[in-house]
Structure 1
Amino acid sequence: MSNTTPRVRELNLYRQYFDLVATGTKTIEVRVKYPHLADLVAGDIIRFHIKGTDETCEVEVKRVTEYTDFEALLAGEGPANVNPTATRDEQLANIRAIYPPEKEALGALAIRIELIG
């Protein structure tokens, strides 16, 4: 018997990125390949929160692609899909401000998302 209920993951987002996801503008979420995200697959649901608030939005995972680093991820996915309000160089700087080199060394995940509802 197979489980057809999608798994729901709870993840935090900064306000600026949450707003882009909540409007459907941001279609690629960038994360480090932490062990708790290594088994993320298409069909899973991510419920994004803004830390310290009750605000949430849900997306369905459409695809998960692993890259060696953030530069390769932006090249492969296109900066406009990650954050259409920032240049490639701004995005790289912003991502690396969140994830230092030792975290980036774990691998980068491009999570193709689609807003639910």
Structure 2
Amino acid sequence: MTDATARVRELNLYRQYFDLVTTGAKTIEVRVKYPHLVDLAAGDTIRFRIKGTDETCEVQITRVTEYADFETLLDGEGPSNINPTASRDEQLSNIRAIYPRDKEALGALAIEIGLPD
């Protein structure tokens, strides 16, 4: 993707995950495959914002992989890349608390991210 076609997306993120992103410890962001996210691509930028604040962090997308569900995503990507502070089972529970099963049925996206140089 060229700079001319790269896009910036703004997404909200909970504080605990935001802090992991800003330190580089979280390299995979998990999202439901909502229609407005299906065209995310390597080279795009995500500007994460803690909801209700002006605090932001920009990351570059290096890869987007689609999975049928969160369990398959966690197994495919490795839980430590998503949240190195929680076990796989804790992460699955946390993700499903954010996204109920009817949302999970849309599919899951593993978005590999990196801090800009």
Q: Structures share a fold, TM > 0.5?
A: yes
- Partner of 2:31: helix, strand, or coil? strand
Aligned to 1:30: 30
- 1:6 deviates by 1.7
User: 2-side partners of 1:30 and 1:58: how far apart?
Assistant: 16
Question: What TM-score do you get using the length of structure 1 for normalisation?
Answer: 0.96
Match of 2:7 in 1: 7
What runs of 5+ residues in structure 1 fail to find an aligned partner? Answer: none
Q: Any gaps of 5 or more consecutive residues in structure 2?
A: none
Q: Percent identity?
A: 78
State the 1:4 CA deviation: 2.3
Q: Tell me which residue corresponds to 2:58.
A: 58
Give distance in 2, aligned partners of 1:103 and 1:70: 11
1:12-32, Cα deviation, whole Å (9 max, x unpaired): 000000000011110000000
- 1:29 partner amino acid: E
1:80-108 alpha-carbon deviations (Å, 9 max, x no partner): 00000000000000000000000000000
Q: CA RMSD in A?
A: 1.1
76-85 vs 3-12, which moves further: 3-12
Report the count of equivalent residues. Answer: 116
Amino acid at match of 2:112: R
Q: What TM-score do the two structures reach when normalised by structure 2?
A: 0.96
